[in-house]
């Protein structure tokens, strides 16, 4: 029989204790690494949409950012807009249309996403640029803003903000898109919401003044007495030849209800409350009680309801813009589920030919607004799955997505699959559970 001596027993004990200590150390190390990896992965997922927006902003303006919470005044050299869409390989048609184009709506929603992310500096540069563009139009001096501008850093030697376009070699002429140079009411309203969101989050009287000027332009140029009242679509075309858009949009009037109500709460001027109510009465008139949906709006006569295309945003934005007043109309989200849901996401319209990621993010926020967290979480998970490795959100999961609408040039309005600032900004807002219609306001309880 093999006997252990006292010394060998002590040595065996020491080896066993060292082995146990080493095993514990390895186990602790593995646990820490797993925990760290989980934190890293989760933070990457949480911040990826925001990181993409920040990267596009920095690349568009090609300027080094200071501390994101700096309150320094932007100089003229700091002004500029974010490019809305990423280029598509082997798609010269798309790139010729969207290269270096900064849509006002996309930049306004991006500013709100930056505010929601406590990125004051980037948000400030966008709202400063909105103010400057409003004052620095190449023709108009009446407080309006255009649908789009040339993306990138503002040229300090220019006397006005450049509009997007390209030189056509075949005709030896400068070409501009009618939509880009026009002024649509909804885009003006979103500029107002961005300015008010910044003003109520960080201050700055110039932003309130700019929002008021935009609101006054809408009141003076778009208020309409036909049919159910409300506000018309804006103006289309070039400079002195612009013509009034006489249709009325449910989505535009939803935007205006929120913007005008916020101006009333800030200024205490009853006129803004009356204007908000005027926009709201039009929205309510567009309710289809039989189908449980909101119609798009009206035909050009301002009274006949347009019934062909039913866009998702008119449903998703209702609980966000109207808040408590929307409760009798929450069935519109059921309509979206039944007629616009596709592959876990939502289409732009009711033909369900693909996922529209921007609208899908809007639906996530709508579910949060009506306290349906499980549905919101399912949609958020779907959005995460649809993100590109860069963190950006594409417009759609298909090569092209139809909307059902026709553009001023007679061509169908299509979404090409491309990384999109607007879709990514809505994803940021949905991830953070922030309602952009009321961001910064005391009414923002979402």
* pLDDT tens for each residue of 66-83: 334 444 444 545 899 999
pLDDT at 310 over 60: yes
Q: Kindly state whether residue 97 falls inside one of the protein's structural domains.
A: yes
Q: Kindly state whether residue 256 falls inside one of the protein's structural domains.
A: yes
β-bridge pairing 297-298 and 305-306? antiparallel
Q: Kindly state whether residue 23 falls inside one of the protein's structural domains.
A: no
- Predicted confidence band at 410 (pLDDT cuts at 50, 70, 90)? confident
Contact present, 149 and 161 (Cβ < 8 Å): yes
Count of domains for the chain = 1
Which pTM value belongs to this model? Answer: 0.86
Cα separation of 1 and 12, whole Å?
Answer: 18
Q: Kindly state whether residue 20 falls inside one of the protein's structural domains.
A: no
DSSP 396: B
Q: Kindly state whether residue 187 falls inside one of the protein's structural domains.
A: yes
- pLDDT, the chain, mean: 87
* Residues counted in the chain: 446
Alpha-carbon torsion 180, 182, 187, 188, what sign? positive
Q: Which two tokens stand for residue 151?
A: 């993306």
For residue 375, what are the domain limits?
57-432
Q: Kindly state whether residue 12 falls inside one of the protein's structural domains.
A: no
* pLDDT tens for each residue of 15-74: 444 444 444 443 444 443 444 444 333 444 445 899 999 999 999 997 432 334 444 444
Q: Which residues of 160-170 are buried (b: 16+ CB within 10 A; e: fewer)?
A: ebbbbbeeeee
Q: Kindly state whether residue 381 falls inside one of the protein's structural domains.
A: yes
| Torsion from C-alpha of 205, 207, 210, 211, nearest 10 degrees | -110
Contact present, 388 and 394 (Cβ < 8 Å): yes
The domain that holds 387 is classified in CATH as 1.50.10.10
Q: How many CB atoms lie within 10 A of CB 429?
A: 25
Please tell me the predicted confidence (pLDDT) of residue 17: 46
Q: Kindly state whether residue 41 falls inside one of the protein's structural domains.
A: no
């Amino acid at each position: 029989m093999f006997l252990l001596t006292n010394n060998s027993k002590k040595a065996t004990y020491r080896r066993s204790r060292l082995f146990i200590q080493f095993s514990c150390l390895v186990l602790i190390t593995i646990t820490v690494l797993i925990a760290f990896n989980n934190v890293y992965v989760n933070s990457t997922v949480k911040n990826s949409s925001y990181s993409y927006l920040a990267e596009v902003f920095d690349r568009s303006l090609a300027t080094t950012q200071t501390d994101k919470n700096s309150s320094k005044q932007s100089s003229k050299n700091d002004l500029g807009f974010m490019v809305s869409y990423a280029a598509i390989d082997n798609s010269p048609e798309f790139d010729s249309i969207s290269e270096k184009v900064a849509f006002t709506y996309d930049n306004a929603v991006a500013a709100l996403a930056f505010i929601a992310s406590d990125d004051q500096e980037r948000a400030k540069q966008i709202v400063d640029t909105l103010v400057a563009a409003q004052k620095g139009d190449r023709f108009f001096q009446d407080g309006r803003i255009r649908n789009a501008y040339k993306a990138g850093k503002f040229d300090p030697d220019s006397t006005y903000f450049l509009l997007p376009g390209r030189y056509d070699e075949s005709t030896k002429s400068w070409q501009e898109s009618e939509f880009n140079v026009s002024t649509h009411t909804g885009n003006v309203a979103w500029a107002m919401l961005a300015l008010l969101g910044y003003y109520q989050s960080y201050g700055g009287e110039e932003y309130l003044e700019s929002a008021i000027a935009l609101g006054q332009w809408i009141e003076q140029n778009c208020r309409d007495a036909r049919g159910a009242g409300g506000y018309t679509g804006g103006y289309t075309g070039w400079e002195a030849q612009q013509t009034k858009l006489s249709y009325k949009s449910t989505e535009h009037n939803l935007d205006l209800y929120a913007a005008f109500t916020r101006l009333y709460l800030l200024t205490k001027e009853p006129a803004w409350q009356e204007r908000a109510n005027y926009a709201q009465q039009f929205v309510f008139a567009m309710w289809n009680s039989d189908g449980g949906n909101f119609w798009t709006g009206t035909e050009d006569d301002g009274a006949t309801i347009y019934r062909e295309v039913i866009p998702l945003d008119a449903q998703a934005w209702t609980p966000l813009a109207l808040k408590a007043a929307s409760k009798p109309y929450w069935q519109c989200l059921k309509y979206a589920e039944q007629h616009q849901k596709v592959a876990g996401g939502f289409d732009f319209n009711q033909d369900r030919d693909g996922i529209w990621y921007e609208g899908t993010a809007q639906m996530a926020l709508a579910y949060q607004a009506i306290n349906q967290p499980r549905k919101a979480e399912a949609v958020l998970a779907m959005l995460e799955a649809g993100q590109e490795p860069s963190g950006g959100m594409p417009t759609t999961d298909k090569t092209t997505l139809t909307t059902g609408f026709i553009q001023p040039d007679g061509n169908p309005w299509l979404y090409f699959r491309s990384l999109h600032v607007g879709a990514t900004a809505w994803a940021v807002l949905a991830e953070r559970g922030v309602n952009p219609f009321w961001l910064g306001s005391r009414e923002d309880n979402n």
